[in-house]
Every structure is written in C-alpha cells, then in structure tokens.
Copies of this chain bind each other. A is one copy, B any other.
Amino acid sequence: MKQLKGACVLGQSGGPTSVINASAAGVFIEALGQECITNVFGAKHGIVGILNEELYDISKEDMEELNLLKVTPSSDIGSVRYKLKDANVDDTDYKRILEVFKKYDIRYFFYNGGNDSMDTCNKISKYLANSGYECRCIGVPKTIDNDLAVTDHCPGYGSAAKYIATTMMEIYHDSDVYDTPMVCVCEIMGRNAGWLTAASQLATEAGFGPDLVYLPELPFDFDSFMSKVGEILKKKPHVLIAVSEGVQTKDGKYLPELFQELAKDSFGHAQLGGTGKVLADQIHEKFNVKVRAIEFNLMQRCAQHLASKTDVTEAFNAGRKAVKFAISGVTDKMVGFKRTYVNGKYKCEYVLIDLHLVANDEKKIPLSWIKKDNTGLTKEFVDYALPLIQGDMKAPLVNGLPRFAKLKKVLYK
C-alpha cells in the first residue's frame, strides 16, 4: 500500500464523556508525529466545522496542553448533533465536504462519537470512495452508553460506570444515617440500553449499593416494583434504588408519561419530573416515608476527576491506533475493542470493525445478565464491568482544583 500524503481532520460528535478528549489527544499527538500527515486539523463542532470551513490548526497548540487534553472532560473542540441526509436523497452536504477536503487536501478523516456519529462517518466514507477521492475514513468510538455494536465496550463507559458505582456507595452512606425510614431513588442516563444503570450493581457488590436496579431492557412493572419496595421496607428502614431514565411499561410508556396520564385521570394534579422523581413521589404517597430523588445528570458523563485509568488509556490508544491504521492503508472502519485475558488478567486489543456494522445499531445488556426477578445484575455483568473501572487518572491539581487543557484554538487560514 503506497503511503498517502495529506492533511488529517478530527471531528468530535454527540454527547460528552470524560475521555472523548483523550481520543482527540491520541489522534492529534500521533498525527503530529507522522511525516505523511501534512496538516492536523480539529473540526470546530464536528461535521459542521467542516461544512463551515472552521478548522483549528492543531500544530499551533503546545504539546503540554495536548497532553492535558487526556484528562480534560467533554469535547474541547466542540461537538455537534447533525444528521447527514442519505447522499442519494440530497448530496448537498457531501459535495461541500468533498470540496473542503480537496481545498485543504484532507486525506485522513477521523470521526469520534457514538452510533449516530458512526453513521455520519460511514456515509462520508462511502460517498468519498464512490467519488474516487482517496481519503481514509476511520471512526473512533465514544459513548458513555456503551451501546455500540460489535465492540466489546466503548471509551467513556468505564469512567461513567466508575462515577456511578462510587457515587452510589457514597449516597448509600448518606441516605441511611437517620433512624427514620427513607427511600432514595437515583435516576441514571440510558434511554434504551441499561449499561450505565447496571454499573450501580458494582456498588452493591462492594457492600454499599442499591437494593433494586431497573434497566430499560425489560418492561417496568409498576405494581411489582411497589410491592418489592414494600417488602424491603418491612425488613429495613433504608432503601436505595437505581433506575434508568429509559424504563418503560410493557405498553411502551415512559414513567413520567404514565403518571401524567394517571394524574389527569384520577388525582387531578400534575406529576412532573423525571423517572426517579415520579417513582419517589409514588413511594412517598403509598408508604408515607421520606423519599429523595437524585438525578446523576451531566455529572455522570463529565466527572473527569473520577475517570478510570483503563478507560482514559484505551480512549487515548483508540485515537492513536486510528491514525496508525489509516496510515497503513485502512479505511471505512471503526477502531473497536476486543477483550482478552492473559493469565487471567484483562487486556484490550484494538481491532477493526466495518463502519456499516456499527452505524445506527445498538447493543443492549444480554437478558441473561439480568437477575430472574429483575432486581439487579448477575455475576457475568460484574465480571464484564469491573476491569473497565480500574485505576485513577485525573487532571493534575493546581490550587486544589483540576488543571484542564487550555487550547489556543487558532482557526487555519
């Protein structure tokens, strides 16, 4: 395979994670050291930055700051949610992308994101190939949701899982201090897949976790839920519950919807709020106990100070590998993770997965990993998740607070 000379561009896309910047650092640092890469660009707000010709010149950045990117949460060059139309329906965007790529001689395209972003990467890859413009297109995975197909796991998940398990253990301590009953309902992200919520099972394994864990993989039975809460309250005064924001009844209704309807029908007052709030309110009404609803909110996806070293390292390596694979001639692939065990020790291998296999597919928790009574996860899940949360890797402290990267973000002229 002849060496391809030209510029490279990286775009970040979709919701933040603690380690998407670590992948960016991997791409940038590796690309800056490669002779065949003539320019290293960061697209401002992903694909929109390419459409708008807003490209940061990464060679202008200090290497120290690029290294700090590894431990800086979220998407430092800006993210985007922009869905490309099918090229055979409307190829305006694609023509523009090709135009920009030609203008800047971009021959390496790296796109870092989740399912939708891999769809974007896949579409661009196919369009460029059909148009005869030589450009290596590689997807770099990213999503706290851990729901990308084929790959064993996704960068961002380990750190989010570590945040969720650690925070659950702390909330367990906080919510059981009084001599009066108290039910605490924690709402965790994950609209369709329960990987994040499942991570709270790790807290239970460590001795201080939720009594009940509800994932969107199975229908949520409200009556069964309430009777389980009642049973636990008979045995002990403090109950801790983890619930995915995405749980649905067997009729496909999210809980806030369900209770807004019920409220209109019977109680006559509006029930607002998220899944956790709705459940906490119902528990209060039925059992007359103190309740608290906690949303893990943005913190679960940006708490870099609790990042898993394994996750940061793999995210960084995924970025580097993407560049190396591309230079070696690979295109139209996503860098995926394959788990192996060497002498019983977890190891991550970087493999290649066809972009079209990942684009818009979704990997859920195997139903066999959910306990028969739907109250938590089995040992299979725990064994799967534990290696991903190992080690700490947080930003250096200055004055007791994290020193995150401060990029210059100079637009290329």
Contact = CB atoms under 8 A, between A and B. Distances in A.
Interface string A262-291: 000000011011000000000000000000
A103 to B, nearest CB: 21
B74 A177 contact: yes
Contact of A306 (B169, B269, B305, B404): B305
Contacts of A272: 270, 272-273
A108 interface: no
A171 B301 CA distance: 9
Contact of A178 (B79, B184, B292, B308): B79
A208 interface: yes
A1 interface: no
Contact of A400 (B184, B305, B391): B391
Contacts of A45: 178-179
Given A389-B401, A400-B391, A174 B16 contact: yes
A264 to B, nearest CB: 13
A175 interface: yes
A294 interface: yes
A89 interface: no
Given A303-B167, A305-B166, A175 B298 contact: yes
A74 B173 contact: yes
Contacts of A390: 399-400
A338 interface: no
Contacts of A176: 74
Nearest to A297: B294
A206 B398 contact: yes
A294 B305 contact: no
A79 B391 CA distance: 33
A165 to B, nearest CB: 6
Given A272-B270, A272-B272, A294-B297, A170 B305 contact: yes
A392 to B, nearest CB: 7
A179 B179 CA distance: 49
Contacts of A81: 178
A27 interface: no
A299 B171 contact: yes
A75 B202 contact: no
A79 B269 CA distance: 35
A203 interface: yes
A179 B80 contact: yes
16 contacts: A73-B173, A78-B178, A79-B178, A166-B305, A167-B303, A170-B298, A171-B299, A174-B301, A175-B298, A206-B399, A206-B402, A270-B272, A299-B299, A390-B399, A390-B400, A391-B400
Interface of A: 12, 16, 44-45, 48, 72-76, 78-81, 162, 165-167, 169-171, 173-179, 184, 202-203, 206-208, 269-270, 272-273, 292, 294-295, 297-299, 301-306, 308, 386, 389-392, 397-402, 404, 406
